[in-house]
Structure 1
Amino acid sequence: MATLKEYFFKDARALTQHAEFPITDRDGNELVKVISRVHLNFEANAFYVSFYIPARNGVDCPELLCLNSLGQLFEWKRNLHVTTRLPNLQETTSDDLRFTGRIFLYSEEPVPDHFKEQIWQEAKPLGHLIEFRSVEYMEARNRAEKPLAFISHDSRDKAEIAEKLAIALSTRMCPVWYDEYSMQVGDSLRESIEKGLKECRKCILILTPNFLANGGWAKTEYQSIFTRELIERQKVILPVWAGVTAKDIYDYSPILADRVALQWDDGLDTVATKLVAAIGV
């Protein structure tokens, strides 16, 4: 099941930039670190913002502190200088975009009603439109969505490949099972992986030198996926090669070497688009 953090990253209909910002008290002590996103819509000549707020760690209302830090976020946005050229229009930069007032607050802990009322009252005179998204939002989305693909990867390829691919697929309305987003504290690793392997329509194998050298979970996942193919008598494996050759794959698994694979060198957009088509979203 997807987490609130996953929805924070994939709930975007525009170009986004994000950064971590510490929320501090008056003495400069860090209270909580939030992820701030600026959503740039060049066609509408506008931008809006969103915040991901982890567990409060004793902070009463970090959401209010986030709103108080908007000036810092806008200053960071002014330093982006993102430039684009839309069809039949002059070149446009992120500096030209106007703030719509829309602010989305993704809070791992539900915001008490009295804090919501306080925030709405303070935001209204400023023209800010606040939307709270927390546990209820996550649960409603989970009920409506089911992961369509399982991403099997070596942990050393997480940052550079697996996470980027998971986000790219999610933004294309293709929910995926991805360990960082699909597991909660206290979950059984084995049970969660087995559930994902059995329930997802397809299984994406990110085949890298790290994966091929992994004799632990990566090997176990591949064997489980291959066993599922034998039992169900259908092809569920979607290979993505990154930094490996046909001989490397053949040495690892001759049967796997016969599968048509996507090449990570073709670019994230190309790989994600072709995977969505193969998954059948």
Structure 2
Amino acid sequence: MGFADIDMQDARDLTFTGRVYLYSEQPVSAQLKEQINSKSELQGHSLIFRSVEYVEQRNKFEKPQAFISHDSRDKLEIAQPLAIRLQKLMCPVWYDEYSLKVGDSLRDSIEKGLKECQKCVFIITQNFLSNGGWSKREYDSVFTREIIEKRNVIIPIWYNVTPKDVYSYSPILADRVAVDWSLGIDKVVNKILPAINA
């Protein structure tokens, strides 16, 4: 392929380095890795695994660009798919499954994530609006951060809520331009990614 005045090159003329990346959203056992590696080596391939362990290791060295705030009841349907999609697009996120380890202080870790992230994505659902616990504390913390930093940090995603619902929770939050989850995850991510990077 080529662009403008760059010469075209046929893919059949390219040299294959033998390096193959295998991505998995689930942990891969050491035994399975060894089996696949053995077969790959016989064919002259160098196999590199990228799975949950890789994401966890990478997150230790990268500050999150986005903090994903959600009610735990919305984890599987909305928060987890969103976190996975953003990670795939090289947008490191603070997401409890990726960022918390056994023994961590929940409060310290959340506060650190809220302070370090570029933006905070709030998944606004009926569950979120009725939660007076962590979700409310996270919103209050980020709202305070916006006042101190004098800039917008909140990126809202609405899921089966009305402007009136959101207004009852927070008039300021209802004033924010939000993206509706009903558009589908691809369109949601395409809309929020530029806002996260802004």
TM-score, normalization by structure 1:
0.57
Equivalent of residue 110 in structure 2, options 193, 209, 234: 193
- Please state whether the residue corresponding to 2:147 is helix, strand or coil: helix
Q: Is this contact kept in 2: 1:166–1:176, CA < 8 A? A: yes
State how 1:115-264 maps to structure 2 within 5 Å.
Answer: 120=38, 123-127=40-44, 129-131=46-48, 141-142=58-59, 145-264=62-181
Closer/same/farther in 2, CA of residues 164 and 134 from structure 1, 3 Å limit? closer
For 2:182 and 2:146, how far apart are their aligned partners in 1?
27
- Which AA in structure 2 matches 1:271? V
1:270–1:134 distance in 2 versus 1, CA, 3 Å: closer
What amino acid is the match of 1:228?
R
1:228 is paired with a residue of what secondary structure? helix
Cα distance change on mapping 1:126 and 1:183 into 2, 3 Å: same
Cα 1:248/1:199, change in 2 over 3 Å: same
Q: What is the CA distance between 1:63 and its match in structure 2? A: 2.5
The correspondence of residues 21-40 of structure 1 with structure 2, limited to 5 A, is none
CA RMSD of aligned residues (A): 2.8
Change (3 A) 1:267 1:246: same
Return the alpha-carbon distance in structure 2 between the equivalents of residues 135 and 240 of structure 1.
25
Aligned residues between the structures? 178
Whether the 8 Å CA contact 1:202–1:237 is kept in 2: the answer is: yes
Are the equivalent residues in 2 in contact too, given 1:53–1:63 (CA < 8 A)? no
Residue 191 of structure 2 corresponds to residue 271 of structure 1: no
- 3-state DSSP of counterpart to 1:186: coil
**Cross-structure match for 1:39:** none
Identify if the C-alpha distance between structure 1 residues 184 and 248 changes in structure 2 by more than 3 Å, giving closer, same or farther. same
Pick closer, same or farther for the CA change 1:131–1:157 going to 2, 3 Å. Answer: same
TM-score scaled by length of structure 2: 0.78
CA contact (8 A) 2:23 2:49 kept: no
How big is the shift at 1:124? 2.7
- Determine whether 1:64 maps to 2:67: no
Q: 2:75, 2:52 → 1: CA distance?
A: 26
Q: Secondary structure at the match of 2:140?
A: helix
In 1, the alpha carbon distance for the partners of 2:187 and 2:56 equals 31
Q: Which residue identity does 1:189 align to in structure 2?
A: L
1:221 Cα deviation after fit? 0.6
2:27 touches 2:53 (CA, 8 Å); kept in 1?
Answer: no
Distance in 2 of aligned mates of 1:236 and 1:206: 14
**Greater CA drift, 148-157 or 170-179:** 170-179
In 2, the alpha carbon distance for the partners of 1:257 and 1:133 equals 39
Question: How far did 1:135 drift?
Answer: 11
More strand by share: 1
Q: Distance in 1 between matches of 2:56 and 2:86?
A: 20
Identical pairs, percent: 60
Q: Which has the higher contact order (CA 8 A, sep 6+)?
A: 2
Following superposition, the deviation at residue 226 of structure 1 comes to: 0.4
